[in-house]
Structure 1
Amino acid sequence: MTIEIKAPTFPESVQDGSIATWHKKPGESVSRDELIVDIETDKVVMEVVAPADGSLSEILKEEGDTVESNEVIAKFEEGAAGSAKGGSDGKDEKPAAEEKSPAQSTKSGESADTGDSSSSDDKLLSPAARKMADENNIDPNSVPGTGKDGRVTKEDVANFLKSGGGKSEPSKASGSSTAEAPVEAPQGERAEKRVPMTRLRKRIAERLLEASNTTAMLTTFNEVNMAPIMELRSKYKDKFEKAHDGTRLGFMGFFVKAAVEALRRFPAVNASIDNNDVVYHGYQDIGVAVSTDKGLVVPVLRNAENMGLADIESTIRDYGLRARDGKLGIEEMTGGTFTITNGGVFGSLLSTPILNMPQSAILGMHKIQERPMAVNGEVKILPMMYLALSYDHRLLDGKEAVQFLVTIKDLLEDPARILLEI
């Protein structure tokens, strides 16, 4: 039985997606609920799994193609593993496929009209491989193919060029002079690789550029003595972990709690601009920036004012693990009234974070580093951290922004004040 494989239903905030990676090829056996394809949107990567045991019979959308919500992207044969199109069963299948290479090329997005007199034994080329071969005047039949059924991929053409196989092709194919031949870089040196931007990376770039171009962004700095929190954490971390089912006591929980209290005192920092209006939020939804291989994502702690340290730490850990596995949902990354980002985990000593639109401020944490500090007329070595608060000067005056950051500093240097709300 043939089943249509469709793209997931995208939320209203997502217009479309693109095919990121096909994990299965036509004819390859697939088990029920096994991952078939990844679809990348502006915010997350969505997974599409097999509806039953069987195999893909046809792929309608290639990697890089744009797809809309619930659009058919492939066809699936239930219980037909190994017998689908492109399979290896039967002695006459492969010659038949080779004889119909123009039709197959058209089906996979290639043009069947190549404008030459190629014979029926021409190798199959991916669109990218054909383009690279044409640009370098390479005969595709001279390139060893490593793809399915001998298909020549872009990597095959690149390897062929790297090995020197394309040196004599320009004059052979077009009769041009050697001066017009493409200049090759020395082997093993000055290598370059061009890959398209992912949708997530493009969206991040758009958002950062929007923040830089549309806000009056300014950054103020301060520093905090982390010794009190480090002592508190060292004293209670074992009891905390035991009492809260393995949840570890980290630093981020203290910063979130301090931010919540400071936002209560300075509601404008928790506000946002909507056209000509200022929207004041009566809740604190704190976004926590998480770095992944595919880009920066900001999952949100909803109603952080109602969360305890254990809830904050366990939720942040869960977000971090799922972000790295691409398992975060779009609803978990939308909204937010204030953001905290921690460049210190990578060794950053000082930075100027960029606003997460439409929020009016973002707090930057940094590396904890021991420095000599003057304390009551004496020099002491203390674990210090620089704090940075970037804010939208259209909404926040310098006085308010500085006082907000000083409040966070005071709360962190005397953690009891967070509990007592003083």
Structure 2
Amino acid sequence: MFVDKAEIFVKSGKGGDGRVSFRREKYVPDGGPDGGDGGKGGSIYALVDSSMRTLMDFRYKRKYAAEPGGNGGKKNCFGKDAEDLIIKVPPGTIIKEKETGRIIADLTEAGDKKLIAKGGRGGKGNTHFKNATRQAPTFAQQGRHGQEMTIILELKMLADVGLVGYPNVGKSTLLSVLTKASPKIANYHFTTLKPNLGVVEVVKGKSFVLADIPGLIEGASEGIGLGHDFLRHVERTKLLVHVVDVSGCEGRHPIEDFDRINEELSSYDERLSSKVQVIAANKTDIIYDEEVYDEFIKEMESRGYKVFPISAATQQGVVELMQYVTTELENIEDVVLVEVDEHAVYEVEVDKNNEVNYEVEGDVYTVSGVPIERLVYSTDFNDVESLRRFQNILMKMGVFEELREMGIEDGDTVKIFDFEFDYYE
């Protein structure tokens, strides 16, 4: 079964907590703090595995979580860093964040590797919080939580040549003749439900990958049927072989079919209609209307297209078509891949945001933001000294002054993440 789209949940590991510890040795009963730092949580990476061809594995496992970092130890011993989690994907996989639609990674070559979710940083041990007035800090910093999100994996086949055209024009038959691929072939008036790939070598030593793109229908660019799922496979091909039924035996007009398919390509992405197209005028062995056939050949050649009359069923003209395609591929530059934002992994973006956000609803004042989140991580709310430090930092950040300007009064509630406090001057 060919699976070209999957949705999974990923969660990187939480950083280990810093340790609260004091040096205790013989003859040194009141040694200073020696709590070690927590280890880094495991990050999640996507890695291209050339042996994979579909996203089938992700239908059975949809949650991926990296291990947390180890907690800090005594005598300034660091916690162990967690191992990173590697998710293997096939070549041609695009990874998007579901919530925003942002592209996180565009992986094409074997060995390509991309960070998907960054592991949480380990918390600092109490030795870091010693200063001139605080000789024995009784608190440490908690490790940061890892990132979690739902991502979409989309597989865009990396084929050199795509076969496009209406359903039932002979694309699958042509693919089966040229390659060892074995698509299901019958007189269907609806489209193949999955793309098929094959390797073509009609010129010795020069091969290319050919994809039978499932037959398009009118409205495909608007998502009718499985249009969007199919059209995105065309994007990375270097050349299109447009297969047209010129027999006239079904009462269809080949020029109209050709134009409608190109309209769908253009509507989806204008770049698709500008790709090099070679026309395979198929079913010439059973031509019903010679005038329609002659009109089609004349019209296409007047537009500057190279037309090859063929019969996929009898293999007439097929070799000549593929020889021309092989030569033409050498003159076409590789397809420009999707441009990926280097800062797509949102940890990078979040770190740049140092704003503190304020909201008020009734007598509840909510304070949030990255700096506040970091402060919460480093605070032990069960320790009086740690709470005093928490309040002092809020004061230096101007949080209390801002709340007063917003009109906070004694007895009102201040909410910081999951913690609530009563405000008093």
Which protein is bigger by CA-based radius of gyration? 2
Tell me the TM-score normalized by structure 1. 0.19
Q: Return the structure number with greater helix share.
A: 1
TM-score (norm 2): 0.19
